[in-house]
Chains A and B, each alone.
Chain A
Protein backbone atom coordinates (compact mmCIF):
# COMPACT_ATOMS: atom_id res chain seq x y z
CA UNK A 1 0.00 0.00 0.00
CA UNK A 2 1.42 3.32 -1.02
CA UNK A 3 2.10 5.94 1.63
CA UNK A 4 -0.46 8.68 1.83
CA UNK A 5 0.86 12.09 2.65
CA UNK A 6 -0.30 15.63 2.44
CA UNK A 7 -0.29 16.85 -1.12
CA UNK A 8 1.27 20.19 -1.80
CA UNK A 9 1.39 21.26 -5.39
CA UNK A 10 0.10 19.33 -8.41
CA UNK A 11 0.31 19.44 -12.19
CA UNK A 12 -1.51 17.45 -14.81
CA UNK A 13 0.08 16.57 -18.15
CA UNK A 14 -1.77 14.92 -21.04
CA UNK A 15 -0.08 12.00 -22.79
CA UNK A 16 -1.50 11.60 -26.28
CA UNK A 17 1.52 11.35 -28.56
CA UNK A 18 5.27 10.95 -28.47
CA UNK A 19 5.97 14.68 -28.08
CA UNK A 20 3.90 14.49 -24.92
CA UNK A 21 6.28 11.86 -23.60
CA UNK A 22 9.12 14.34 -24.19
CA UNK A 23 7.05 16.95 -22.34
CA UNK A 24 6.62 14.50 -19.48
CA UNK A 25 10.39 14.17 -19.20
CA UNK A 26 10.86 17.93 -19.32
CA UNK A 27 8.22 18.71 -16.71
CA UNK A 28 9.36 15.97 -14.36
CA UNK A 29 12.93 17.19 -14.74
CA UNK A 30 11.84 20.74 -13.86
CA UNK A 31 10.09 19.45 -10.76
CA UNK A 32 12.97 17.31 -9.47
CA UNK A 33 15.41 20.15 -10.04
CA UNK A 34 13.25 22.46 -7.98
CA UNK A 35 12.83 19.89 -5.26
CA UNK A 36 16.62 19.59 -5.15
CA UNK A 37 16.98 15.84 -5.59
CA UNK A 38 20.54 14.63 -6.15
CA UNK A 39 21.70 14.15 -9.72
CA UNK A 40 21.42 10.36 -9.60
CA UNK A 41 17.95 10.59 -8.05
CA UNK A 42 16.90 13.09 -10.72
CA UNK A 43 18.04 10.73 -13.45
CA UNK A 44 16.23 7.78 -11.91
CA UNK A 45 12.98 9.68 -11.48
CA UNK A 46 12.91 11.18 -14.97
CA UNK A 47 13.83 7.82 -16.50
CA UNK A 48 11.05 6.08 -14.59
CA UNK A 49 8.64 8.80 -15.76
CA UNK A 50 9.77 8.25 -19.34
CA UNK A 51 9.18 4.49 -19.07
CA UNK A 52 5.76 4.84 -17.50
CA UNK A 53 4.77 7.67 -19.80
CA UNK A 54 5.61 5.60 -22.81
CA UNK A 55 3.65 2.66 -21.39
CA UNK A 56 0.63 4.90 -20.93
CA UNK A 57 0.87 5.94 -24.55
CA UNK A 58 1.67 2.62 -26.16
CA UNK A 59 -0.27 0.19 -24.02
CA UNK A 60 -2.89 2.44 -22.54
CA UNK A 61 -3.80 4.30 -25.68
CA UNK A 62 -3.00 7.63 -24.09
CA UNK A 63 -3.81 9.15 -20.72
CA UNK A 64 -2.49 11.53 -18.09
CA UNK A 65 0.33 12.12 -15.73
CA UNK A 66 -0.49 13.78 -12.46
CA UNK A 67 2.54 15.19 -10.69
CA UNK A 68 2.38 15.96 -6.99
CA UNK A 69 4.69 17.04 -4.25
CA UNK A 70 3.85 15.07 -1.13
CA UNK A 71 4.90 15.38 2.48
CA UNK A 72 4.90 12.73 5.15
CA UNK A 73 6.09 13.99 8.48
CA UNK A 74 9.43 15.62 7.97
CA UNK A 75 10.20 14.10 4.61
CA UNK A 76 9.01 15.29 1.24
CA UNK A 77 8.78 13.46 -2.02
CA UNK A 78 7.54 13.50 -5.58
CA UNK A 79 4.56 11.41 -6.63
CA UNK A 80 3.84 10.47 -10.23
CA UNK A 81 0.47 9.02 -11.16
CA UNK A 82 0.01 7.69 -14.68
CA UNK A 83 -3.52 6.81 -15.65
CA UNK A 84 -5.19 5.63 -18.80
CA UNK A 85 -8.52 4.20 -19.93
CA UNK A 86 -6.95 1.49 -22.00
CA UNK A 87 -7.38 -2.26 -22.18
CA UNK A 88 -5.84 -2.87 -18.76
CA UNK A 89 -3.22 -5.44 -17.85
CA UNK A 90 -4.40 -8.99 -17.56
CA UNK A 91 -1.55 -10.37 -15.50
CA UNK A 92 0.15 -7.66 -13.46
CA UNK A 93 2.63 -10.03 -11.87
CA UNK A 94 3.78 -11.22 -15.23
CA UNK A 95 3.99 -7.67 -16.53
CA UNK A 96 6.29 -6.75 -13.66
CA UNK A 97 8.75 -9.47 -14.59
CA UNK A 98 11.75 -8.20 -16.54
CA UNK A 99 11.85 -9.22 -20.13
CA UNK A 100 8.13 -9.72 -20.34
CA UNK A 101 6.64 -7.92 -23.26
CA UNK A 102 3.23 -7.92 -24.80
CA UNK A 103 4.41 -6.20 -27.88
CA UNK A 104 7.60 -4.69 -29.11
CA UNK A 105 10.54 -3.89 -26.96
CA UNK A 106 12.20 -5.40 -23.97
CA UNK A 107 9.36 -4.82 -21.58
CA UNK A 108 11.36 -3.30 -18.76
CA UNK A 109 9.03 -0.38 -18.18
CA UNK A 110 7.04 -1.55 -15.18
CA UNK A 111 9.60 -3.64 -13.34
CA UNK A 112 12.36 -1.16 -14.07
CA UNK A 113 10.34 1.81 -12.85
CA UNK A 114 9.56 -0.05 -9.66
CA UNK A 115 13.27 -0.45 -8.99
CA UNK A 116 14.00 3.18 -9.73
CA UNK A 117 11.43 4.55 -7.29
CA UNK A 118 10.84 4.05 -3.57
CA UNK A 119 7.16 3.16 -3.74
CA UNK A 120 5.14 1.58 -6.50
CA UNK A 121 1.45 0.81 -6.80
CA UNK A 122 -0.53 -0.41 -9.77
CA UNK A 123 -4.25 -0.78 -10.29
CA UNK A 124 -5.53 -2.29 -13.46
CA UNK A 125 -8.92 -3.50 -14.64
CA UNK A 126 -9.51 -5.17 -17.95
CA UNK A 127 -11.30 -2.89 -20.40
CA UNK A 128 -11.40 -0.13 -17.83
CA UNK A 129 -7.87 1.14 -17.54
CA UNK A 130 -4.66 1.26 -15.58
CA UNK A 131 -3.24 3.58 -12.95
CA UNK A 132 0.39 3.40 -11.88
CA UNK A 133 1.50 5.47 -8.91
CA UNK A 134 5.14 5.88 -7.90
CA UNK A 135 6.82 7.93 -5.20
CA UNK A 136 10.42 8.90 -4.62
CA UNK A 137 11.29 10.40 -1.24
CA UNK A 138 14.08 12.84 -0.66
Chain B
Protein backbone atom coordinates (compact mmCIF):
# COMPACT_ATOMS: atom_id res chain seq x y z
CA UNK B 1 0.00 0.00 0.00
CA UNK B 2 1.35 3.41 -0.83
CA UNK B 3 2.08 5.75 1.99
CA UNK B 4 3.19 9.31 2.29
CA UNK B 5 6.73 9.35 3.68
CA UNK B 6 7.38 11.07 7.01
CA UNK B 7 10.82 12.57 7.50
CA UNK B 8 12.34 13.13 10.90
CA UNK B 9 14.37 16.25 11.48
CA UNK B 10 15.51 16.21 15.07
CA UNK B 11 12.50 17.03 17.17
CA UNK B 12 10.31 17.70 14.19
CA UNK B 13 8.52 15.59 11.62
CA UNK B 14 8.22 16.76 8.02
CA UNK B 15 5.52 15.53 5.66
CA UNK B 16 5.40 16.60 2.03
CA UNK B 17 2.07 15.95 0.34
CA UNK B 18 2.57 15.84 -3.39
CA UNK B 19 -0.10 13.55 -4.68
CA UNK B 20 -3.79 13.96 -5.15
CA UNK B 21 -4.72 11.87 -2.12
CA UNK B 22 -7.64 9.56 -2.19
CA UNK B 23 -9.48 9.13 1.08
CA UNK B 24 -7.69 6.02 2.25
CA UNK B 25 -4.29 7.58 1.76
CA UNK B 26 -5.30 10.58 3.85
CA UNK B 27 -6.58 8.39 6.67
CA UNK B 28 -3.40 6.31 6.55
CA UNK B 29 -1.37 9.51 6.83
CA UNK B 30 -3.30 10.53 9.93
CA UNK B 31 -2.56 7.15 11.50
CA UNK B 32 1.08 7.08 10.51
CA UNK B 33 1.71 10.59 11.77
CA UNK B 34 0.12 10.12 15.15
CA UNK B 35 2.03 6.89 15.62
CA UNK B 36 5.32 8.48 14.65
CA UNK B 37 4.78 11.51 16.90
CA UNK B 38 4.32 9.24 19.85
CA UNK B 39 7.19 6.96 18.79
CA UNK B 40 9.86 9.65 18.59
CA UNK B 41 8.34 12.13 21.00
CA UNK B 42 8.20 14.74 18.31
CA UNK B 43 7.43 18.29 19.38
CA UNK B 44 6.60 19.70 15.97
CA UNK B 45 4.98 18.61 12.72
CA UNK B 46 5.48 20.41 9.43
CA UNK B 47 3.06 19.63 6.64
CA UNK B 48 4.22 20.92 3.28
CA UNK B 49 1.31 21.36 0.88
CA UNK B 50 3.10 23.57 -1.65
CA UNK B 51 2.49 20.96 -4.35
CA UNK B 52 -1.20 20.58 -3.66
CA UNK B 53 -3.30 22.27 -6.28
CA UNK B 54 -6.59 21.17 -4.80
CA UNK B 55 -7.56 21.20 -1.15
CA UNK B 56 -11.20 20.28 -0.64
CA UNK B 57 -13.11 20.07 2.62
CA UNK B 58 -12.00 16.49 3.18
CA UNK B 59 -8.31 17.38 2.98
CA UNK B 60 -9.03 20.44 5.10
CA UNK B 61 -10.61 18.26 7.77
CA UNK B 62 -7.67 15.88 7.56
CA UNK B 63 -5.24 18.72 8.22
CA UNK B 64 -7.38 19.97 11.10
CA UNK B 65 -7.56 16.46 12.56
CA UNK B 66 -3.81 16.00 12.33
CA UNK B 67 -3.26 19.30 14.14
CA UNK B 68 -5.71 18.35 16.90
CA UNK B 69 -4.28 14.88 17.38
CA UNK B 70 -0.75 16.22 17.40
CA UNK B 71 -1.64 18.75 20.04
CA UNK B 72 -3.05 16.06 22.28
CA UNK B 73 0.31 14.36 21.92
CA UNK B 74 2.04 17.64 22.84
CA UNK B 75 3.24 18.49 19.38
CA UNK B 76 2.56 21.65 17.40
CA UNK B 77 1.61 21.53 13.72
CA UNK B 78 2.37 24.08 11.03
CA UNK B 79 0.94 23.82 7.51
CA UNK B 80 3.21 25.46 4.96
CA UNK B 81 3.19 26.54 1.35
CA UNK B 82 -0.49 26.84 0.60
CA UNK B 83 -0.91 28.11 -2.97
CA UNK B 84 -2.83 31.37 -3.47
CA UNK B 85 -5.53 29.78 -5.63
CA UNK B 86 -6.04 27.12 -2.98
CA UNK B 87 -6.25 29.73 -0.21
CA UNK B 88 -8.80 31.76 -2.15
CA UNK B 89 -10.87 28.65 -2.81
CA UNK B 90 -10.80 27.46 0.78
CA UNK B 91 -12.02 30.85 1.97
CA UNK B 92 -14.82 30.81 -0.61
CA UNK B 93 -15.66 27.24 0.36
CA UNK B 94 -16.14 28.49 3.89
CA UNK B 95 -13.25 26.66 5.45
CA UNK B 96 -10.80 29.16 6.91
CA UNK B 97 -9.17 26.46 9.07
CA UNK B 98 -9.12 28.44 12.28
CA UNK B 99 -6.57 27.32 14.83
CA UNK B 100 -4.23 25.84 12.25
CA UNK B 101 -0.86 27.50 12.17
CA UNK B 102 0.52 28.33 8.78
CA UNK B 103 3.74 29.57 7.24
CA UNK B 104 4.93 30.50 3.78
CA UNK B 105 7.46 27.70 3.38
CA UNK B 106 9.35 24.95 5.19
CA UNK B 107 12.07 27.30 6.38
CA UNK B 108 9.76 29.84 7.96
CA UNK B 109 7.64 26.96 9.21
CA UNK B 110 10.62 25.59 11.10
CA UNK B 111 11.39 29.03 12.51
CA UNK B 112 7.79 29.32 13.60
CA UNK B 113 7.90 25.93 15.33
CA UNK B 114 11.13 26.81 17.11
CA UNK B 115 9.60 30.09 18.30
CA UNK B 116 6.55 28.31 19.67
CA UNK B 117 8.60 25.67 21.42
CA UNK B 118 10.94 28.21 22.96
CA UNK B 119 8.00 30.16 24.29
CA UNK B 120 6.57 26.94 25.69
CA UNK B 121 9.77 26.36 27.59
CA UNK B 122 9.82 29.93 28.85
CA UNK B 123 6.28 29.60 30.06
CA UNK B 124 6.75 26.34 31.81
CA UNK B 125 5.84 26.83 35.43
CA UNK B 126 8.02 24.73 37.64
CA UNK B 127 5.27 24.63 40.20
CA UNK B 128 3.69 22.05 37.99
CA UNK B 129 0.61 23.88 36.74
CA UNK B 130 2.02 24.69 33.32
CA UNK B 131 0.68 27.79 31.67
CA UNK B 132 -0.94 27.70 28.28
CA UNK B 133 0.85 29.59 25.56
Contacts and interface: CB of A to CB of B under 8 A. Distances in A.
B124 interface: no
Contacts of B89: 40, 43-44, 47, 116
A88 interface: no
A47 B54 contact: yes
A91 B54 CA distance: 29
B20 A43 contact: no
Majority DSSP secondary structure for residues of B touching A: helix
A47 B56 CA distance: 6
B120 interface: no
Interface in B22-70: 22-24, 53-58, 60-61
Contact of A47 (B24, B84, B93): B93
Nearest to A44: B89
A108 B94 contact: yes
A54 interface: yes
B122 interface: no
Interface stretch (A19-27, A66-74, A129-137): A19-27
A18 B92 contact: no
Contacts of A14: none
Given A21-B22, A29-B54, 12 more contacts: A40-B85, A40-B88, A43-B54, A44-B89, A51-B93, A108-B94, A108-B95, A109-B57, A112-B57, A112-B95, A115-B93, A116-B89
